[in-house]
Amino acid sequence: MFVSPDPELAALRETVREFVDSFGVDYFQERYRNREYPHELYDAVVDRGWVGLTVPERYGGRGRSHRAAAVWLEPLGTYGYDFGMPALLSTSGAETVVRFGTDEQIERFVAPALDGERRFSIGVTEPDTGSDAAALETRAERDGETYVLSGSKTYQSAAKAPGNTVILYARTDADAPKREGISAFLLPIDAAGVELSPLDLVARRAAGTYDLELNDVRIPASNRLGAAGDGWTIMNDHLRREHTYMAALMAGNARGAIEATIDATTDRERFGRPVSEFQAIGHRIAELQTEVDAARLLVGRAAARLDAGTDSRQYAAQAKLYAGETLRRVGSEAVQLLGGAGLDPENDVERYWREGASATIAGGTSEIQRSVIAAAVLD
């Protein structure tokens, strides 16, 4: 991250990059090809205390900054940002429970997450509402000391991971204005009535993406996060952090893609010289490298705004927008520059092309990010 010459953050980034590289490229190729959750990678991340990096020390975490979180997540996305999504979701989920939960909830949900026994995902998107999160239709009906959840969610990233808890958003007041009638809940996926069905997508093939069905799922009222009706506030607070962290993963993936492209075009020779020496190729690589570096700068700025405690939604949206669009462009250009070899699943850039195709959609589309930015700058 090029925001400031902080030796400690630079050392953290290099440590994580060496850690990720130690798994070897075959590990990432095989998990992605076979649609296998990266259990070994996630467990090793937990063992190093990175999932709890931003959790306050009094709750068992390390109490580090959001900039530190962005710095360690960036290299975690090197070989495909989907490999970093489980750690991102658990990190941002733990932060959300700490920010809005009770001491009992923090003890019950966050402490096990730091030990790897519990994980987090987020449940917002629904089949009939898509990007209009405030129009969600999933219901939560109060019944004594319990809530009964019913409805559907879709595109649920890493939702079937072992010990996962979904931070689920549901409507608790059908008569309130749509942004005021939403509440947040902590939903363990092993609760009776929860059904998860895998989606066979062209991308996001490691962490997994699922449909979630709630068939009169009964959970304790003590699993409500924050007060009834606070869901919209909690959701937006969560998303500005999640978008910043997703942008970090995507920038890291774009950096990995440009590195692979440089290596391939330098090693391949055509017409008696390396492909990279042709001016047309060199100029395209120069443009892509500039975009990658710009994306990393935007991530650093968004994380710094989080640390400053100021309104960061615009900056998170800009980082997510640009990092996602950059990964899409770099992935597509990498395939083009490698020719037929770029379409071979044994080649890393084929995976980067797939991840790039999802980067402008997952976690909030580019169109929604532009709307957020426009609302901020035109206010």
Domain ranges of the chain: 7-117, 121-228, 232-377
Evaluate if residue 60 carries a pLDDT over 50: yes
pLDDT, position 276? 80
Evaluate if residue 178 carries a pLDDT over 90: no
Mean pLDDT across the stretch 303-321? Answer: 95
The mean predicted confidence, pLDDT, of the chain is 95
Evaluate if residue 346 carries a pLDDT over 90: no
Distance in angstroms (rounded) separating the CA atoms of residues 226 and 105: 10
pLDDT, position 341? 84
pLDDT, position 5? 61
Please provide residue 121's backbone torsions phi and psi, each rounded to the nearest 5 degrees: -140, 180
Topology annotation, domain 232-377: Butyryl-CoA Dehydrogenase, subunit A; domain 3 (1.20.140)
Q: What is the pLDDT of residues 253-302, one digit of tens each?
A: 999 999 999 998 888 878 888 888 889 889 999 999 999 999 999 999 99
Angle at 327 between CA 9 and CA 346, to 5 degrees: 100
Q: Do domains 7-117 and 121-228 have the same CATH topology?
A: no
Q: Using 50, 70 and 90 to split pLDDT, how confident is the model at 1?
A: very low
Mean pLDDT across the stretch 226-245? Answer: 96
pLDDT, position 147? 98
Q: What is the pLDDT of residues 140-154, one digit of tens each?
A: 999 999 999 999 999
Residue 209: partners with Cβ closer than 8 Å, 6 or more residues away: 155, 156, 157, 159, 198, 199, 201
Mean pLDDT across the stretch 323-333? Answer: 97
Q: What's at 18, amino acid-wise?
A: E
Evaluate if residue 2 carries a pLDDT over 90: no
Mean pLDDT across the stretch 174-202? Answer: 95
Looking at the domain that runs over 7-117, which CATH code has it been given?
1.10.540.10
State the DSSP code for 199: -
Topology annotation, domain 121-228: Butyryl-CoA Dehydrogenase, subunit A; domain 2 (2.40.110)
pLDDT, position 100? 98
Mean pLDDT across the stretch 193-211? Answer: 96
Distance in angstroms (rounded) separating the CA atoms of residues 26 and 34: 12
Q: What is the pLDDT of residues 69-88, one digit of tens each?
A: 999 999 999 999 999 999 99
Mean pLDDT across the stretch 319-344? Answer: 93
How many residues are given for the chain? 379
Q: Using 50, 70 and 90 to split pLDDT, how confident is the model at 345?
A: confident
